[in-house]
């Protein structure tokens, strides 16, 4: 099969980059890019090799195990070849593994017999640490070695002997070679990093790097001070009869005195494997050890032997990695998008990739300055990051994979979506660009969709598509006209019948009554005014009349409102067309002005930051947040070390996981209400 030149060039660059990052990671314990990003590059390389097998050579990263031994350590030739597992990243890929196993087992064993062809699978947690091979003679530890390149490793016996969980003698005087993982707990890493910081030394990125670096110390006292731990999970060779299943093997190891991880699961089908993987992908980061996936092994030893090995690893086992929060992909284009306030935002169009369990094809590049800082170019391989509910973000470029003809992105002077002649201008004092003509049709559609959205007038049942149709059909010219619509206006739109038109009109009438002032201000799409600034303005002025008559100096005096925001609000309100629109709007709606609260009430939650997640029993999330604001507390959209409380309901997602990971106090609704009641 002929390999296209662009594919061959990409493959060679990938091979060179993977080898470089892999050597830095496995041999020198340096993490130039995250392990997840490295996995992503390796995965792309393997996919190319699967499509074009003629590219595969013995020096391909897909054919190697871990790395070469460091020169300052004595070399150890392994008595039993050490292997590396292949990777699966999605349920589809693990099903392909299952199909491959069953297909290979359909071949009748050479010796005949009635051996079962139906495998079960043992699922074990994949600890993110450093693999060690322990050799015992007559029950006594004689050698501990790193995996190295699979054939030759490093003799680290003097350091491994300092780890309390490694038995120096076994419960029986047997000869055995076992394999396991050395790891450091997150708590011990935090303690070590505090010490590093106090001594002015660089901090360690993760427990795996510390474990690897600690095992390779020339002074065992340093290793002992790191408080490392182990899990042993495999028997490579034993002078006794080998256990007949993988699950029996773990219990066999425990009986000999090894520390094993008991969080394993025997799955009868591949669906059971996927269920176990999904369960641990949610709670895996909350253990004292780091987990980056599960290891799936055919449980029956006779089937393992029939399946055998490839040149790299066993056919009967695979590492099923958790959804990565960092991956690599290719930036295919940079497109400028016009927002509801006329601000122009660069958006990266990406080769679709799965990150943190979500397929992502777009990511914001924020502004012109961010593009220059990253030096990101069309065709670049980029590192994409997504953590929890956070919008995907490009955090770095992999320069070694840059196409030769890639040129720096040139910021334009015109954007068609702006309307008029498409001119754009940089907003003074900021990194943002905006349309000169603020009346562009695309901008108007987005602003109107925001006007009727949940954050603003919350007109139930009118979504973005309906908003666009109302403007396209000329039914709405000014946004306030939505409150004048009748059933007949909707019947002219596709998808609307008598009942849906009636419901739409009723939703509009309902949305016009008792609208909180801050939501009215949010709906107006005033440049620089988001939800929180709208609340600040509403709390300070307490009526639309007082706000519209306020001077620019009075706006600047508000806590949380700076010069740029004050100027933007004052200039917007001063425009005659906006004054006319507000006057028309006030004829259709009744505004609910904020009630003045006493200083003692406002101080109840002062200095405390809350995050809400999930569905609460009686309160909506918005009602809970409003209570916090009323009592002087702060609301945050994501959990960090600065968060004081997370209020969690049913089906709480990644925010709850993050709170547990950081040790942030988690409250039920009733506990939250008790805090409000008790802080008089």
**CB 513, CB 590: distance < 8 Å:** yes
111-139 average pLDDT score:
84
**Domain 599-678 is found in CATH 3.40.50.10190:** yes
Q: Which fold has domain 5-63?
A: Helix Hairpins (1.10.287)
Q: Give the pLDDT of residue 316.
A: 95
- Asked if residue 397 has pLDDT above 80, the reply is yes
For 260-275, write each residue's pLDDT tens digit. Answer: 999 999 999 999 999 9
- The question of whether 126 is a catalytic residue gets the answer yes
Q: How far is CA 20 from CA 17, 24, 69, 85, 167, in A?
A: 5, 6, 16, 20, 36
Q: Which fold has domain 441-512?
A: DNA polymerase; domain 1 (1.10.150)
Q: Give the pLDDT of residue 240.
A: 95
The whole-angstrom separation of Cα 208 and Cα 131 is: 10
Q: Give the pLDDT of residue 114.
A: 45
Task: Map out the domains of the chain as residue ranges.
Answer: 5-63, 75-108+117-321, 326-412, 441-512, 516-592, 599-678
As a CATH number, domain 75-108+117-321 is 3.30.470.30
Q: Give the pLDDT of residue 143.
A: 94
| Helix pair angle (441-451, 464-472), 10° resolution | 130
Structure tokens belonging to residue 113: 């017999």
The whole-angstrom separation of Cα 410 and Cα 376 is: 11
For 313-334, write each residue's pLDDT tens digit. Answer: 899 999 999 877 788 999 999 9
How many C-beta atoms lie closer than 10 Å to residue 248's C-beta?
Answer: 14
99-117 average pLDDT score:
70
Same fold: 75-108+117-321 with 599-678: no
The whole-angstrom separation of Cα 467 and Cα 448 is: 6
Residues 6+ apart with CB under 8 A from 280: 125, 291, 294, 322
Instruction: Give the confidence band of 107 by pLDDT, cuts at 50, 70, 90.
Output: low
Of the residues 13, 15, 126, 297, only one is catalytic, namely 126
The whole-angstrom separation of Cα 353 and Cα 394 is: 13
The whole-angstrom separation of Cα 586 and Cα 580 is: 10
Q: Give the chain's length.
A: 680
In CATH, which superfamily holds the domain spanning 516-592?
5' to 3' exonuclease, C-terminal subdomain (1.10.150.20)
- CA-based angle 136:138:142, to the nearest 5? 35
Reference 196, options 164, 170, 222; nearest CA is 222
The whole-angstrom separation of Cα 280 and Cα 648 is: 20
The whole-angstrom separation of Cα 232 and Cα 182 is: 9
Residues 6+ apart with CB under 8 A from 529: 521, 522, 537, 565, 568, 569
For 485-539, write each residue's pLDDT tens digit. Answer: 888 788 768 878 888 888 888 898 888 888 889 889 988 888 888 888 888 888 8
As a CATH number, domain 326-412 is 2.40.50.140
Instruction: Give the confidence band of 80 by pLDDT, cuts at 50, 70, 90.
Output: very high
The whole-angstrom separation of Cα 615 and Cα 633 is: 21
Mean pLDDT estimate for the chain = 85
């Amino acid at each position: 099969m002929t390999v296209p030149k662009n594919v061959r060039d990409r493959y060679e660059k990938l091979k060179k980059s993977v080898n470089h990052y892999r050597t830095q990671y496995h041999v020198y314990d340096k993490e130039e890019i995250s392990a997840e990003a490295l996995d992503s590059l390796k995965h792309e390389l393997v996919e190319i090799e699967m499509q074009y097998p003629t590219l595969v050579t013995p020096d391909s990263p897909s054919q190697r195990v871990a790395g070469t031994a460091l020169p300052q350590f004595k070399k150890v030739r392994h008595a039993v070849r050490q292997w590396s597992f292949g990777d699966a990243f999605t349920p589809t890929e693990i099903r392909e593994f299952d199909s491959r196993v069953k297909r290979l087992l359909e071949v009748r064993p050479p010796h005949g017999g009635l051996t079962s062809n139906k495998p079960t699978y043992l699922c074990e947690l994949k600890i993110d640490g450093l693999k060690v091979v322990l050799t015992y003679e007559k029950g006594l530890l004689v050698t501990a070695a790193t995996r190295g390149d699979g054939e030759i490793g490093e003799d680290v016996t003097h350091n491994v002997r300092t780890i309390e969980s490694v038995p120096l003698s076994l419960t029986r005087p047997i000869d055995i070679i076992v394999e396991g993982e050395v790891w450091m707990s997150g708590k011990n890493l935090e303690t070590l990093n505090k010490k590093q910081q106090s001594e002015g030394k660089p901090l360690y990125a993760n427990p795996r790097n510390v474990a690897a670096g600690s095992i390779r110390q020339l002074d065992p006292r340093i290793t002992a001070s790191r408080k490392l731990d182990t899990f042993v999970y495999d028997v490579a060779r034993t002078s006794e009869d080998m256990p007949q299943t993988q699950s029996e093997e773990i219990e066999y190891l425990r009986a000999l005195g090894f520390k094993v991880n008991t969080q394993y699961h025997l799955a009868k089908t591949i669906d059971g494997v996927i269920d176990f993987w999904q369960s641990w992908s949610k709670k895996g980061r909350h253990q004292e050890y780091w987990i980056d996936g599960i290891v799936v092994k055919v449980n029956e030893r006779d089937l393992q032997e029939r399946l055998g090995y490839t040149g790299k690893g066993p056919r009967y086992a695979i590492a099923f990695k958790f959804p990565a929060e960092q991956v690599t992909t290719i930036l295919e284009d940079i497109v400028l998008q016009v927002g509801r306030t006329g601000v122009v935002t660069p958006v990266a169009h990406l080769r679709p990739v799965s990150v943190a369990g979500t397929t992502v094809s777009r990511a914001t590049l924020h502004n012109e300055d961010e593009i220059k800082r990253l030096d990101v170019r069309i065709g670049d391989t980029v590192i994409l990051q997504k953590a929890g509910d956070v919008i995907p973000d490009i955090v770095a470029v992999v320069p070694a994979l840059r196409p030769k003809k890639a040129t720096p992105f040139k910021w334009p002077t015109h954007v068609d979506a702006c309307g008029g002649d498409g001119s754009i201008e940089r907003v003074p004092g900021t990194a943002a660009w905006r349309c000169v003509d603020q009346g562009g049709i695309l901008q108007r559609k987005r602003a109107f969709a925001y006007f009727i959205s949940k954050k603003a007038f919350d007109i139930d049942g009118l979504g973005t598509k309906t908003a666009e149709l109302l403007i396209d059909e000329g039914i709405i010219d000014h946004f306030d006209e939505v409150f004048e619509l009748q059933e007949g206006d909707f019947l002219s739109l596709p998808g609307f019948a008598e009942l849906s038109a009636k419901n739409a009109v009723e939703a509009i009438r309902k949305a016009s009554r008792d609208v909180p002032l801050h939501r009215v201000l949010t709906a107006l799409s005033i440049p620089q005014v988001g939800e929180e600034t709208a609340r600040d303005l509403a709390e300070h002025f307490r009526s639309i009349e007082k706000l519209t008559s306020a001077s620019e100096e009075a706006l600047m005096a508000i806590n949380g409102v700076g010069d740029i925001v004050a100027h933007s609000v004052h200039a917007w309100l001063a425009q005659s067309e906006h004054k006319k629109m507000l006057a028309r709007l006030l004829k259709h709606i009744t505004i609910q002005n904020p009630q003045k609260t006493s200083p003692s009430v406002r101080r109840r939650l002062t200095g405390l930051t809350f995050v809400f997640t999930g569905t609460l029993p009686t309160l909506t999330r918005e009602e809970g947040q409003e209570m916090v604001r009323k009592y002087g507390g702060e609301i945050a959209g994501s959990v960090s070390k600065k968060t004081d409380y997370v209020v969690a309901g049913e089906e709480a997602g990644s925010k709850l996981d993050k709170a547990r990971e950081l040790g942030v106090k988690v409250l039920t609704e009733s506990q939250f209400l008790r805090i409000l009641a008790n802080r008089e």
